[in-house]
Structure 1
Amino acid sequence: MSFSFLPTTNSTTTTTTSTVRMLPTRRSESHSPASRCKSAGHSSSSLSNGFIHSIPTSAASSTQRVNHRQGSLDQLIFKLLTGKPKCLAKVLGGSGVLNTSKNSVAIQTTPIVERDVVSSLQNCSEVRYGANSKPRITNITFSTVTSATGLPTVPAEPNKARSSSYWKTEASHSQSSNNNDTHGTSVDLLRKLSVSRKESGSHVDTVVTTIDGQRYDTKELDSDPDFQEVAEWAFPIFQISRKYPKTVLSRLTYNIFQQAELFRIFKVSPLKFFNFFHSLEKGYWEIPYHNRIHAADVLHGCYYLSVHPVRPQFGVAKSPDSLLPAPQTPAASIMSQMSTLELMALFTAAAMHDYDHPGRTNAFLVQVEDKKAILYNDRSVLENHHAAESWKLLCRTENHFIENLDPAEMKRFRYLVLEYILATDLKQHFEIIMTFNDRIPDMDLQVESDRLLVGKLLIKMADINSPTKPYGLHRQWTDRICEEFYEQGDDERKRGLTITPYMDRGDAQVAKLQDSFIAHVVSPLAQAMNESGLLPILPGLENSELWINMNHNHRKWKEEIESTYEPTTTCNGGSVNGVIEEESASTSDSPDPRRDSPSLDSELSQ
């Protein structure tokens, strides 16, 4: 909340007065000065119309008056803080800037986004929104008809195109160069009054201790060399997980939130942030594959795919008769096309997407009539469970790091998180790909439904990214998923059930499993994203490294099959899909290895 004391003159008296004009802070995603609300002018004599109140600058009372020329500035500030507008002292926060003149005092502050400040504003009877003031709303412009969410239409304001410049540190709104140096002591005193009320876990603290005693030093996290390669596709996730076995997910999430400046944009409390994400990673089971390391890997995949520049081929008119090449789309990151709310929802959903995973497939839970399958009517059982349980965890008071979202943002955030998590159900895999392919000619990233569809592709690719990683990482993930499958096979044997194909540790067929998984699940998604220009191509490469790695790994598994099995042996795509998660099937052909650059592939083979 910002305050400014503007001098006015009363024609009937000789007392000089100042109006207190309280400007409501509108927290937009950019937090740029231009996005702040401007209040209209009001009469200085009105005490009940909106934010306008008259206060004598001399702070006169029946027994005492303070003279501007002879009184001390410190006394004047004390009077203003403890005088008629009693709620003024409650809401001062952040850094204060003091401007003085003969007949006026100007104080501008940056608000502390804390619950007690918000409640003090609501409980203050002297300060309330006037008829001409605007409520705080986000600068995300929702569509007029939001049939998918059922949300009411939000009053629209001019929507700014988000760009990476929105993530720059916001310039100071005050010009301290105009202040007199003689009043430096008073300014320091005012700042001390502002910061003295900040609670543990706010932005000024560097050490955060979670509710269960886990300690995080944000200075160390900001300079941790282990996370300097977070923008690399070959991010050493297993190496970092060995160093931080219990906190790999929370540390990576903090680093990515910092990179995107989501703490600053949404005024996220580090204490509640770490409370939630540490509780979240503790809720992942100690199983071979669907653990907190996998959640961190999916989060990293979403970050990589969204932060690097791409050239989306959306809405490009295809004219076979034209001799001119199609116009080249300017390179820009998907992150710059998404709103920051959508971005925070995507990263949060990636961290939450396999919470409390039991290491068994949906088909298994349905077959044994698990209570989760009964609860969710055998439909997207695990995905519904992950979303529901992790959201309950988020809603706990000590974990609610999104508390500063307004009601419209909160509903939108929840909707996006649920959509992203449910999209990881492989039963929707081919439906999402076909919807995307059909939508490409008319797709526009300025449309929220199209951005949602792209976000689903990102989290899906991040979820099944193992075959697109360098072979060393891919092999470790393969060993982990096979071990988890074998544990399910052991459970099926104990229950007297038919062992699911490829889950019998006595009949391991790893190469056949990976060959079919890449050909029928990973390749169709990678091909759709590659042809639409959504896979980043780094300088020096002709294709995306995801595409290069996938084809290289696929060839290695084919070579192993040829050297181990009969040449006539084939894989059943439908059975493999049932093994992985769902009952979906595909007849997609394997990708053509000749599409890769021979020179690059030979280097990878070496």
Structure 2
Amino acid sequence: MPTFDARPWEDEELLLLLQQMYLDHDFCSKFAIDIQTLRNFLYEAYKNYNDVPFHNFRHCFCVAQMLYAISWCVDLPSKIGHLEVLILLTSCICHDLDHPGYNNIYQINAKTELAIRYNDISPLENHHCSVAFRILENEDCNIFKSFSSEEFKVVREGMIRSILATDMARHNEILTNFKEILPNFNYDDKGHVNLLCMVLIKVSDISNEARPMEVAEPWLDKLLQEFFKQSDAEKLEGLPVTPFMDRDKITKPSSQCSFIGFVLLPLFEALGELFEELQDLIVQPVREALDYYRRLNEANKEERMHRKSIVELEQHSATHSPDSGKGGAQSKNMRKSLSFQTRSRHIFSVFKHLYPREDMS
């Protein structure tokens, strides 16, 4: 379920859970995957994730786990076939291999080796694919070694297509194309299924807000930590500062309102149109997350306005009242009293925004 919380689990246990996803789908039997080869593959993938705040092995697990949850909820194999689900699950595990913690915008602006190698075209996603297939070149790790060359070609094309779809620069293109085919979606149309697979891995990749707040929010903190580290580096290196990563310009609620409202929710709602079963599972939780951050953002705005009012009041009092003696003491007491009253009203207002149905009397 999307409520699953990976935090209490050790890395070794998460590797076993990934293995169990393959077993639960009966992939080892259906595709002659040796269990030891599967373990070798998962361990090599694990070793090729970096110790960065967000784009690490645990993120890869969460993406795979969300796809697994969706797969069982909608019975995905019966709709697109077991092979496509195998490709998707493996792509989820590989989709951020060797991520350096700095996104494509940084790679391109800094003219990194990756940006030069891939001509500024999805440098990170191309690199993740490359690392994945380097792992699969090792026979001890090649879970597809029983496949014919033609069958492996299908796997390779599917994994590249899926992983490249996680480049957020392609988000609008993929979502627009998917919404165009939705009214006449046809599972017998390979182009339709390919597009659906791209949407499925994208949904899984950015699915944290479909999880309970106590599971999702620590991930958001890690993502902002990674964002702020990049924007700090951009400032130090004289590069253009990525606006949504600038610690001086964004807050957690404001960034979430924009991301969930304009990026995440439209994608989830589009998938929910095709799979009605997902409405309660992941779509409604995302709507609730957006509502929560909107209330929090409004409360933050009001807090800033109150702070500004307090500063202006104190400046006015300092300018028009004596600063010493009896009059000065009275003035200070008055400012303290007004400041306390203003803050009290603000605290009450914040609670009304966050918990509008609570009895605050």
The two structures share one fold, judged by TM-score above 0.5 = yes
Matched-pair contact (CA < 8 Å) for 1:268–1:402: yes
The alignment status of 1:556 with 2:292, answered yes or no, reads yes
The alignment status of 1:545 with 2:281, answered yes or no, reads yes
Matched-pair contact (CA < 8 Å) for 1:366–1:373: yes
Matched-pair contact (CA < 8 Å) for 1:365–1:372: yes
Deviations 1:464-513 (A, max 9, x none): 10122111112111111001111112222321334322434455511111
**What aligned pairs does 1:408-447 form with structure 2 within 5 A after superposition?**
408-447=150-189
Query: Greater CA radius of gyration, 1 or 2?
Result: 1
Aligned residue type for 2:3: A
* Aligned match of 2:203: 461
* Aligned match of 1:269: 34
1:342: Cα distance to partner? 1.3
In 2, Cα distance between equivalents of 1:342 and 1:440:
19
Match of 1:359 among 82, 101, 113: 101
1:362: Cα distance to partner? 0.4
The alignment status of 1:483 with 2:248, answered yes or no, reads no
In 2, Cα distance between equivalents of 1:305 and 1:367:
37
SS at 1:275 equivalent: helix
Match of 1:279 among 29, 38, 44: 44
Deviations 1:74-128 (A, max 9, x none): xxxxxxxxxxxxxxxxxxxxxxxxxxxxxxxxxxxxxxxxxxxxxxxxxxxxxxx
Matched-pair contact (CA < 8 Å) for 1:502–1:508: yes
Aligned residue type for 1:349: S
Question: What TM-score, normalized by structure 2, do the two folds share?
Answer: 0.80
* Aligned match of 2:18: 253
* Aligned match of 1:288: 53
In 2, Cα distance between equivalents of 1:430 and 1:568:
34
Percent identity of equivalent pairs: 28
* Aligned match of 2:264: 522
Matched-pair contact (CA < 8 Å) for 1:237–1:297: yes
Aligned residue type for 2:197: G
* Aligned match of 1:234: 3
In 1, Cα distance between equivalents of 2:15 and 2:108:
32
Match of 2:83 among 313, 316, 341: 341
* Aligned match of 1:68: none
Deviations 1:411-439 (A, max 9, x none): 11111111110111111111111111111
Change (3 A) 1:347 1:558: same
* Aligned match of 2:139: 397
Aligned residue type for 2:202: K
1:353: Cα distance to partner? 0.2
SS at 1:527 equivalent: helix
In 1, Cα distance between equivalents of 2:77 and 2:304:
46
Deviations 1:566-606 (A, max 9, x none): 6999xxxxxxxxxxxxxxxxxxxxxxxxxxxxxxx989xxx
SS at 1:410 equivalent: helix
Match of 2:237 among 475, 478, 495: 495
1:408: Cα distance to partner? 1.7
Matched-pair contact (CA < 8 Å) for 1:488–1:503: yes
Aligned residue type for 1:233: P
1:388: Cα distance to partner? 1.0
In 2, Cα distance between equivalents of 1:475 and 1:481:
10
Change (3 A) 1:509 1:257: same
Match of 1:536 among 277, 284, 291: 277
Matched-pair contact (CA < 8 Å) for 2:243–2:249: no
1:536: Cα distance to partner? 2.4
Matched-pair contact (CA < 8 Å) for 2:97–2:128: yes
Aligned residue type for 1:414: R
5+ residue gaps, structure 1, are 1-231, 310-332, 538-542, 570-600
Change (3 A) 1:287 1:602: farther
Aligned residue type for 1:292: F
Matched-pair contact (CA < 8 Å) for 2:88–2:197: yes
The number of residues matched between the two structures is: 308
Aligned residue type for 1:265: K
Task: Give the structure with the larger helix fraction.
Answer: 2
Aligned residue type for 1:495: E
In 2, Cα distance between equivalents of 1:466 and 1:340:
25
Matched-pair contact (CA < 8 Å) for 1:337–1:445: yes
Deviations 1:148-179 (A, max 9, x none): xxxxxxxxxxxxxxxxxxxxxxxxxxxxxxxx
User: Larger relative contact order (C-alpha < 8 A, sep ≥ 6)?
Assistant: 2
In 1, Cα distance between equivalents of 2:155 and 2:244:
39
Aligned residue type for 2:200: L
In 2, Cα distance between equivalents of 1:406 and 1:274:
22
Deviations 1:539-585 (A, max 9, x none): xxxx423122111111111111111126999xxxxxxxxxxxxxxxx
Match of 2:214 among 442, 450, 472: 472
Matched-pair contact (CA < 8 Å) for 1:535–1:546: no
In 2, Cα distance between equivalents of 1:367 and 1:248:
39
Deviations 1:259-302 (A, max 9, x none): 00001111111222111110111111111100001100110111
Aligned residue type for 1:550: V
Matched-pair contact (CA < 8 Å) for 2:162–2:197: yes
SS at 2:243 equivalent: coil
Question: What TM-score, normalized by structure 1, do the two folds share?
Answer: 0.49
In 2, Cα distance between equivalents of 1:517 and 1:308:
25
The alignment status of 1:387 with 2:119, answered yes or no, reads no
Task: Give the structure with the larger strand fraction.
Answer: 1
SS at 1:239 equivalent: coil
In 1, Cα distance between equivalents of 2:100 and 2:175:
27
SS at 1:397 equivalent: coil
RMSD, matched Cα: 2.2
Query: Once structures 1 and 2 are overlaid, which stretch shifts more, 426-435 or 355-364?
Result: 426-435
Matched-pair contact (CA < 8 Å) for 2:76–2:85: no
Matched-pair contact (CA < 8 Å) for 2:34–2:143: yes
Change (3 A) 1:548 1:442: closer
Matched-pair contact (CA < 8 Å) for 1:248–1:296: no
